[in-house]
Structure 1
Amino acid sequence: MPHVTVEDDTEVFVRDLGAGDPIVFLHGWPLNHRMFEYQYHRLLDEGFRCVGIDLRGYGKSDKPYGDYGYDRFADDVRAVLDDLDLEGVTLAGFSMGGGIATRYMSRHDEARVDGLALLAAASPVITEKPDFPEGLDEAAVNPLIEGARTDRAKMNADFGETLFHTDQSDEMMDWIWSLGMEASGQATVASARTWRDADLRSDMDDITVPTKVYHGSHDEVTPIEITGEVLADGIETAELIRFENSGHGLVADETERLNEELVSFAD
């Protein structure tokens, strides 16, 4: 199981599968790269190389106490892409991973990336700002943080119930819960504060590669009106693709459609 050592000697786990044009996946909070299992199946069959990163604090990566800001995450992604010497990457970020991808494109001048796929992205702004009253009230987010501090198992179960628009099996929900429980508690709390407070609007101006914004119309976590539509308007090269039968978890709500879209975009 390969790891990449990043700048502060943290070991970041990387699942590198297949050959061909690379698609690099950045998972959402509080999960890990395994959430993309049903994307890997199809994309590998289509001849793509799938690279899944467990962000620091999550999955099989090291879980240091400390910084879980977007700059740190973006620098870790750069270290992985450099270590694997990837070129022509399609960078696919889901939820918090979409925020990390947005920051990466600006902070690292789109290095090694030829296409950007933002899936239900927690970007560019989630909560209210003085000049963005459309955002969510922090009071809607803070219970997740407090829950992670006091009863993370219950918080993960409750959060899982908000992810999907279509019915999922009990076994699927148990699996999603188990992925969240692989994270460290401190990373779960600290990175939730990151995506709660971030303002990535200025980063959008630096994105020039072809960009697809895939977003569920019924998303209750990152509502399309304050995220997907704003990204599509703010990134000159972006196209918004609405998933009319999806909530936040479009990877499971409309798996086959999303897979078709990714195959077409990354080809």
Structure 2
Amino acid sequence: MERVDSGDLHAATAGIWSGYAYSKPEQLGLPFEDVEIQVDGGMAPAWKFTPTAAGPVSSTWAIHAHGMGGKRAGALRGVPVARRLGITSLVVSFRNDGEAPPSNDFRYSLGQGEWLDVEAAINYAVDHGAERLLLFGWSLGGSMALRAANLSAHSDRIIGLVLVAPVLDWAETLTSNGSASGLPKAIARAGLSLLGSNAGRWVTGLKQSIDLSALDWVTRAGDLTTPTLILHGIDDKSTPVAVSERFAELRPDLVQLVRFDVPGHSLEWNGDTEKWESSVTRFLKSLPAD
């Protein structure tokens, strides 16, 4: 045990394992500032890390988006490698994560709506001097990054995607999660039908049904136009690496896949930090210079 970030360790009766190496930005030991980004429904908090004047400073900004059910602290793991290359980092919150304003239905929409908060962060970055953009996406954040690269008004500025255990096909991911929980495939398929049906909204509570085909990046691999690095553990039961492998096979011109021999979901950095950061560094250096 190295530290207790919150709560009383002696009085606690339950806990969960998490890949969060940092729970607060101060723990990185890097200068940062709290900023707010205008999104639908109000202001979303974010952390901005700006390289010091003593080192190289790029006109490239990185937007870091965390995964479902998590907080922006989970994306702090990607900041140091970006900073060493002189890149400004914006670690963002998004609707329904408990920090940003919620959506009207208080439901996740698997990236279908959440990407708009990434777009708001992109607008903030451009308004503050960003000329080129990188999107770091963890799990759900990876799906959001792909959607932003495809739909953003500033898509021409997005030069690269770094996706950590990304959800590339929600149907496959949700079915896999259901199977891991002992849920029969027939019930999982019925649940997917409800998500995509307007009639099923009274069950799901969604204001709008989810178009799973629009979020299936394996089928839509031909729509990818941005160089992409995928970092994925080979024993990920939540988002199977096989989906990332199929995506990379379909677009070898744009997609690089680095596998990690680590168990669990989104734990690639934790299992082999040196490999993770060196892979990201090589990828970022391969992109066109400022």
- Both structures adopt the same fold (TM-score exceeding 0.5): yes
| Alpha carbons of structure 1 residues 3 and 264: separation in structure 2 relative to 1, 3 Å | same
- Of the three residues 54, 57, 67, the one matched with 1:28 is 67
Displacement, 1:240? 1.3
Q: Give 2:116's aligned residue.
A: 75
What is the distance in 2 between the residues matched to 1:246 and 1:264?
A: 24
| Alpha carbons of structure 1 residues 194 and 31: separation in structure 2 relative to 1, 3 Å | farther
- Higher radius of gyration, 1 or 2: 2
What is the distance in 2 between the residues matched to 1:87 and 1:111?
A: 10
Displacement, 1:42? 3.9
**1:89-128 matches, cutoff 5 A:** 89-108=133-152, 110-127=155-172
| Alpha carbons of structure 1 residues 142 and 29: separation in structure 2 relative to 1, 3 Å | farther
Counterpart of 1:98 in structure 2: which amino acid? G
What is the distance in 2 between the residues matched to 1:111 and 1:195?
A: 25
Q: Give 1:223's aligned residue.
A: 240
| Alpha carbons of structure 1 residues 128 and 261: separation in structure 2 relative to 1, 3 Å | closer
What is the distance in 1 between the residues matched to 2:245 and 2:121?
A: 30
Residues 1:260 and 2:260 are matched in the alignment:
no
Q: Percent identical across equivalent pairs? A: 21
Displacement, 1:243? 1.3
| Alpha carbons of structure 1 residues 194 and 27: separation in structure 2 relative to 1, 3 Å | farther
Q: Which has the higher contact order (CA 8 A, sep 6+)?
A: 1
Q: TM-score, normalised by structure 1?
A: 0.68
Aligned residues: 213
Residues 1:49 and 2:88 are matched in the alignment:
yes
Residues 1:10 and 2:42 are matched in the alignment:
yes
Gaps of 5+ in 1: 130-134, 144-188
Q: CA RMSD in A?
A: 3.1
| Alpha carbons of structure 1 residues 239 and 128: separation in structure 2 relative to 1, 3 Å | closer
Gaps of 5+ in 2: 1-33, 52-57, 184-204, 286-290
- Of the three residues 227, 232, 241, the one matched with 2:248 is 232
Q: TM-score, normalised by structure 2?
A: 0.63
